[in-house]
Amino acid sequence: MEHVKYMKKKADLELASDDYPQALQTYTNALKQLAKIYEIDENDGIRIDTIIDDSNLEAKIFAKRSIVLLRMKQYYYAYEDARHVTNIFPEWFKGYLRLANIESECGLYEASLTNYQLALRYLHSEPDDSKRNRYDQQINETIKYQLFLIQRQRIYDYQLIWIGTAIGLVFGMAIVFFDFVHNRTNSFINHPLLKLLLIGLCSIIFYYLTSWQRNCSHSWKKKLLEPPTGHKFDDDDDEQYENEIREKID
């Protein structure tokens, strides 16, 4: 167990020095070593308090590796590690904080707001008063910023639709004007109702085009947290999970 703690400290230093690939490898090796210890302990017998301590250490390593993967922009794998943290240690605020940071980075502000609020709820798990107060201030400020981002996104989505409609209106009017200048009375849309119909049709087309673009943008953000193409993840198969992480960064 001391060797696992040593590897975690080594990986922490590598993370602090921005050596992300090496930090990722060291954290992964620490998790593998911890898994071997669990196998030995299951055979030899283990005290309950030791299981709790080991689980907390495992959660901390996953939380740190999640930071590494987020900084490497491997959002899905970072999110999976953060989910491991909340599964292992559900009352530790940092698991929810990691989830929220990843969701915010992907532009999923409403989802991140929920997890920031959960992090705030479980902040009592931090034993250090000074750290708890600092995190409390940081999370509250981040929540306010997330609310601002949510409002800004809603305004943008609303404005995008009507800007698209206005562009369609102008585009339709331009077609009518161009046809009138070049064709005069021989215009194929000489009737006023046809002109209005063409302008309205252009507005509707651009309305749906901007709606489609908005929906694609939201879908793309969600896909950042979906498994990569061809990914077949089994929660019990940690080796496959770690191999896919290494293949992704290579």
pLDDT tens-place string over residues 23-50: 999 999 998 888 877 665 544 444 334 4
The residue ranges of every structural domain in the chain are 1-73, 152-223
225 φ/ψ angles, rounded to the nearest 5 degrees: -105, 10
**Model confidence, pTM:** 0.78
Q: Which residue has the higher pLDDT, 243 or 201?
A: 201
CATH entry, 1-73, from 3.30.70, 1.20.1440, 1.10.8, 1.20.58: 1.20.58
With b for 16 or more beta-carbon neighbours within 10 A and e for fewer, the 218-247 pattern comes to eeebeebbeeeeeeeeeeeeeeebbebbee
Residue 228 clears pLDDT 50, i.e. is over it: yes
215 φ/ψ angles, rounded to the nearest 5 degrees: -65, -40
pLDDT for res 51: 46
Handedness of CA 131, 132, 136, 137 (dihedral sign): negative
User: In the chain, what percentage of residues exceed pLDDT 70?
Assistant: 83
